[in-house]
Amino acid sequence: MSQIQAGGGLRHWRSKLINPVLDKEFRLRMRTSRAMWALFFYLFVIGAMTFGFIYIMTVMPSGSSNSFDPSQSRLMFYFICVVQLGLVAFMAPGLTAGVISGEREKQTLNLLLTTQQSSTTIILSKLFSSLSFMLLLVISTLPVYSVVFLYGGISPKQLLLVFLFFTFVMVVLGSLGILFSTLFKRTMVSVIVTYGATLFIFAGTGFLYLLMSQVMEMTQRNSGTGYNPADYGWIGHIAAWNPVAAMFSIFDDSITEQVFMTRGGSTPPPIALWQEFLLFYSAVAIIAIVMAIRYIRPRYKRSGNGKG
């Protein structure tokens, strides 16, 4: 079926873009029934949540009418985005935390490492193939968002931005998953550590922010000098590590101001939450990938004991 004679140029590009490891990852992933079940589960959760939401909103008498209006539609959009973000947080570690340790446990890793494929190719191909699959999951939920467009309240630009945001979160969690999968010999350990890190990123940072804002408020109120929330606005940087806060700052600028305690004041917030989120986690992802590449093969000492 795929024997159609493609142009020579196309084939050339294909061989450039698709290295053997990537090709293998794509093929093998789609041959397991796991891929199908993951897709099914993903769509089921997001579909069920959406319909549940619509049901509650239409059954509960909300003021004038019991039909949807744009503000409710926007609320629903936020809701679906949070569910989607939760699913991404759930799937990304599961799909990446075993990619290296799994091969090590199946005893195929050694064979792969003695080939001519570079550590960079192996790590990036593994990451890219997992991300492609996750992207497939996320894109397959697009029809759900069409409900939102039916009622308005959300611009296509916002939808595009939030999808880019999901992709970024997947890259970050995926890089961490691959790093732990490389560092830890056992998939079980790698999975637990990756979920732990994800939990910290999602819940830990939020908790830390709330805790710090309480602590700072108390100390500030008890200190002799005048109480000014802007003095401890720096704790907003903790909130910037939280994906949920960052996502909402894409929808609504005022969140950033609120978090940095600059609301109503004259000074603007130092940086939008999502911008800081992007900067911070780009660094995290890059470090994770570089470390994974370094640790997948033995590190030879760079001492000059070659002769002597």
Partner 1 sequence: MIEIEGLTKTFGSFQAVKGIDLTIAKGCVFGFVGPNGAGKSTTMSILATLAAPTSGTVKVGGFDVTQHPKEVRKRIGYMPDFFGVYDQFKTIEYLHFYGASYGIPKAEREELIPQLLELVNLSDKKDAYVDTLSRGMKQRLCLARCLVHDPDLLILDEPASGLDPRARIEMREILKELKAMGKTIIISSHILPELAEMVDEIGVIEHGSMVARGNISDIQSKLRVKRVLYVRLLDRLDEAESFLRDQPLVGRLLRDEQGIHVHYEGQDEEQAALLMGLISSGYRVVSFSEAQTNLEDVFLEITKGGENVV
Shortest spacing between CB 40 and partner 1, in angstroms: 20
Shortest spacing between CB 300 and partner 1, in angstroms: 4
Using CB under 8 A, which of the segments 21-29, 86-94, 199-207, 253-261 binds partner 1? 21-29
Based on CB atoms, which residue is closest to partner 1, 43 or 112?
A: 112
Interaction pattern, residues 278-307, with partner 1; x per rule: CB under 8 A = -------------------xxxxx---xx-
Based on CB atoms, which residue is closest to partner 1, 44 or 297?
A: 297
Shortest spacing between CB 111 and partner 1, in angstroms: 6
Rounded distance between C-alpha atoms, residue 282 and residue 13, angstroms: 28
Q: Is 12 in the site for partner 1 (CB under 8 A)?
A: no
Q: How far, in Å, are 74, 142, 211, 263, 264 from residue 254 at the CA level?
A: 16, 27, 21, 8, 10
Query: Which of 43, 101, 60 lies closest to 296, judged by CA?
Result: 101
DSSP 232: G
Strand, helix or coil for residue 292:
helix
Burial 89-126, CB ≥16 within 10 A → b, else e: bbbbbbbbbbbbbbbbeeeebeebeeeeeeeebbbbbb
DSSP H/E element including 279: helix 273-295
Q: Which of 2, 107, 146, 225 binds partner 1 (CB under 8 A)?
A: 107
Q: Is 31 in the site for partner 1 (CB under 8 A)?
A: yes
Tokens of 263: 């609301």
Based on CB atoms, which residue is closest to partner 1, 65 or 116?
A: 116
Q: Is 36 in the site for partner 1 (CB under 8 A)?
A: no
Q: Which of 66, 71, 108, 282 binds partner 1 (CB under 8 A)?
A: 108
Based on CB atoms, which residue is closest to partner 1, 57 or 123?
A: 123
Query: Which of 231, 221, 225 lies closest to 267, judged by CA?
Result: 231
Interaction pattern, residues 112-131, with partner 1; x per rule: CB under 8 A = xxxxxxx-------------
DSSP H/E element including 289: helix 273-295
Shortest spacing between CB 25 and partner 1, in angstroms: 10
Based on CB atoms, which residue is closest to partner 1, 157 or 301?
A: 301
Rounded distance between C-alpha atoms, residue 244 and residue 201, angstroms: 10
Q: Is 32 in the site for partner 1 (CB under 8 A)?
A: yes
Q: Which residues here bind partner 1, judged by CB under 8 A?
A: 20-21, 23-24, 27-28, 31-32, 106-108, 110-118, 297-301, 305-306
